Amino acid sequence: MNNPLTTSTDTTWASQANMRYWDEVKGDVIGRLRLADAYLARINIGEWSQRNERREWLKMRVGDLIRSAKAEDVLGDPNLVGMVRDLYGERGVTRLRDRVANSANSANR
């Protein structure tokens, strides 16, 4: 028997579940970044006409989250590194690595 929640083309239930989960991980920056990565994967295969608009919206949201996260936590997650590289290019990954190096240098002083 088909499960209507998994075979339906109506994705309202999924959107509502994602919004509830977003509220649950409110204080967890890495959790929110993982949700953003999942959203990026979906818009990359979505309708072409809205792709750039959605990527730019996501890029603005993710930038604040990345700045507030520990750089080593982001770099330690291959999916998040891929998202940073996809949205900001190799320059974004380099900036994260620089943040880790700077914090290590500050700790050694």
Domain boundaries, the chain: 29-108
Residue with the bigger pLDDT between 109 and 61: it is 61
CA 10 to CA 67: how far, in whole Å? Answer: 35
Among 19, 34, 22, smallest CA distance to 73 is for: 34
Answering whether pTM is above 0.85, one says: no
Among 92, 89, 58, smallest CA distance to 74 is for: 92
The alpha-helical segments, DSSP class H, found in 1-109 are: 4-7, 12-24, 29-44, 48-68, 71-75, 78-108
State whether residue 100 is helix, strand or coil.
Answer: helix
Is the backbone of residue 8 left (phi > 0), alpha (psi -120 to 50) or beta?
beta
What are the pLDDT digits (tens) for 63-79?
999 999 999 999 999 99
| Residue 17: pLDDT over 80 | no
